[in-house]
A and B are shown apart, each in its own frame.
Chain A
Amino acid sequence: DVKVTQSSRYLVKRTGEKVFLECVQDMDHENMFWYRQDPGLGLRLIYFSYDVKMKEKGDIPEGYSVSREKKERFSLILESASTNQTSMYLCASSLPGYGYTFGSGTRLTVV
């Protein structure tokens, strides 16, 4: 089975901190995605990548950046964390034409 591993299950950060969320997949998937999920707002796409060093903005990229230096790793960066970035962050990966496999999620609280 494909495994998508997110580095932290729970994270508490202070306002203004730079935050790194790591995601690693072990099945050579080309596509990787970062979503946030908030009650009543569903899944919202932050950034995605279809190849190493490639990145594209999703629907809500403001305040975030990403890095994909290796095929298996896709990192989400909160440049200066704010309280409105408190959320569940979900990483996913896939092959073209197939559904996503999600990581277990990181629940981030910014205080």
Chain B
Amino acid sequence: QKEVEQNSGPLSVPEGAIASLNCTYSDRGSQSFFWYRQYSGKSPELIMSIYSNGDKEDGRFTAQLNKASQYVSLLIRDSQPSDSATYLCASLSSGSARQLTFGSGTQLTVLP
């Protein structure tokens, strides 16, 4: 069973701090990784994708990928209360390259 593991949290950070969300995956053949944000009662929204080792920055968000360690992370700089949500990590299966495997999500609360 190919898995994606996340700390379920909850994770609380003060406003303005850096929030660090972590994820490990078991399928060594996975090449593509995604971070989704899900507000309570809403559907998941894709916020970052990363395909190669290293960092990828988009505004206040930085995704980091280390394929050797099978580790993906999401950093949120200058965290805002509006960032409070559940963050889902997902990997694209190495077989069909069509189906995502999702982690269970990390609940983030940014305290004003």
- What residues of chain A have their CB less than 8 Å away from a CB belonging to chain B? 30-31, 33, 42-43, 45, 48, 50, 90, 94, 96-105
Quick one: closest A residue to B46, CB to CB?
Answer: A99
Complex contacts, A97 vs chain B, CB 8 Å: 32, 92, 97-98
Quick one: closest A residue to B92, CB to CB?
Answer: A97
Tally of contacts, chain A with chain B, CB under 8 A: 50
Binary interface profile of B, 75-107, with partner A (CB < 8 Å = 1, else 0)?
000000000000010101000111110111100
Given A99-B46, A99-B49, A104-B42, do A42 and B102 touch, yes or no (CB 8 Å)? yes
Q: Is the CB of A99 within 8 A of B34?
A: yes
Q: Among the listed B98, B102, B105, which residue makes an inter-chain contact with A94, where contact means beta carbons less than 8 Å apart?
A: B98
B57 at the interface (CB under 8 A from A): no
Interface residues of B in 32-50 (CB under 8 A from A): 32, 34, 36, 42-46, 49
Quick one: closest A residue to B45, CB to CB?
Answer: A102
Q: Is the CB of B42 within 8 A of A105?
A: yes
Q: Among the listed B43, B90, B96, B103, which residue makes an inter-chain contact with A103, where contact means beta carbons less than 8 Å apart?
A: B43
Q: Is the CB of B98 within 8 A of A99?
A: no
Given A42-B104, A97-B92, do A102 and B98 touch, yes or no (CB 8 Å)? no
Complex contacts, B102 vs chain A, CB 8 Å: 42-43
Quick one: closest B residue to A91, CB to CB?
Answer: B43
| 10 residue pairs, one from A and one from B, having the closest CB atoms | A99-B34, A102-B43, A105-B43, A42-B104, A43-B102, A99-B46, A31-B98, A102-B44, A96-B98, A97-B97
Complex contacts, A99 vs chain B, CB 8 Å: 32, 34, 36, 46, 49, 90, 92, 100
Complex contacts, A31 vs chain B, CB 8 Å: 98-99
| Closest Cβ–Cβ distance, residue B8 to chain A (whole Å) | 9
Q: Is the CB of A100 within 8 A of B46?
A: yes
Give Cα A84–Cα B44 distance, bound, in whole angstroms. Answer: 23
